Amino acid sequence: MRIVIADDHQLFREGLRLILSNEPTWQVIAEVDNAQDLMSTVQAQQPNLVMLDYQMPGGGSLSALEYIKKRYPEIKVIVLTGVQSRTLFMQMIACQADGVLLKEVSAGELVKAVQGVLAGKKVTSAGVANELGSHAPDLTAREFQVLDLVLAGLNSNAIAERLSLSSKTVENHRYSLMQKLGVKNTVELMRYASRHGLL
């Protein structure tokens, strides 16, 4: 199994490489420290698995995740994060991450998670699963983007400009996410976001 590690902290990359290299059939073929280099490396190397740090310079890790899953759906991606945020975890899942792990996991838990993902399973660490609970709405990646911008106070025209979409398309996304969340207007959406830790 050919693995690429993407993290902007050298010490963390070295630790991951040591853990993963202990498995006889796993090979770390490349390490990168930014999202832009990750996308070019994936294109050139075609790994089986990418270990992706959420907070990385060079265009954003979620954008890199979407890029990989859209163009190379067979490549597995495990996102590692030190940030505990339900909304962030849901975004990762909506972007088709195969695994979402907190960086506090042990080496044994990490290896077990990688084994599960390589076997075709969707894996989350215990902390992620607890944070998600039973209230995770089934939003698409684009709906999450629209939701974030609505919660930031942008109107549909501003969101359309930010995302390079038509205002009509943004309105459709807003309607869809409100239907899924069971709210009728922006005020109710803000209350829902506050109640369920999406702010």
- Give 115-136 as a DSSP string: HHHHTT--EE-HHHHHHHTT--
- Lowest-pLDDT choice from 131-135, 140-144, 171-175: 131-135
Q: Strand pairing of 123-124 and 27-32?
A: unpaired
Question: How far apart, in whole angstroms, are the C-alpha atoms of residue 110 and residue 116?
Answer: 10
Average pLDDT over residues 153-181: 90
Average pLDDT over residues 92-116: 91
Q: pTM for the full model?
A: 0.70
- CB atoms closer than 10 angstroms to residue 121: 12
Could you tell me what percent of the chain has a pLDDT over 70? Answer: 93
Q: Is 164 left (phi over 0), alpha (psi -120 to 50) or beta?
A: left
Q: Domains along the chain?
A: 2-132 (3.40.50.2300), 141-195 (1.10.10.10)
For the cut 90, the answer to whether the pLDDT of residue 142 exceeds it is no
Residues 6+ apart with CB under 8 A from 177: 137, 139, 143, 146, 147
Buried b (16+ CB within 10 A) or exposed e, 92-106: bbbbebbbbbbbebe
For the cut 80, the answer to whether the pLDDT of residue 97 exceeds it is yes
For the cut 70, the answer to whether the pLDDT of residue 126 exceeds it is yes
The confidence band for 69, taking pLDDT boundaries of 50, 70 and 90, is: very high
Mean pLDDT of the chain: 87
As given in the structure block, the two tokens for residue 105 are 């996991």
Taking only the tens place, the pLDDT of each residue in 2-53 is: 999 999 999 999 999 999 999 999 999 999 999 889 999 999 999 999 999 9
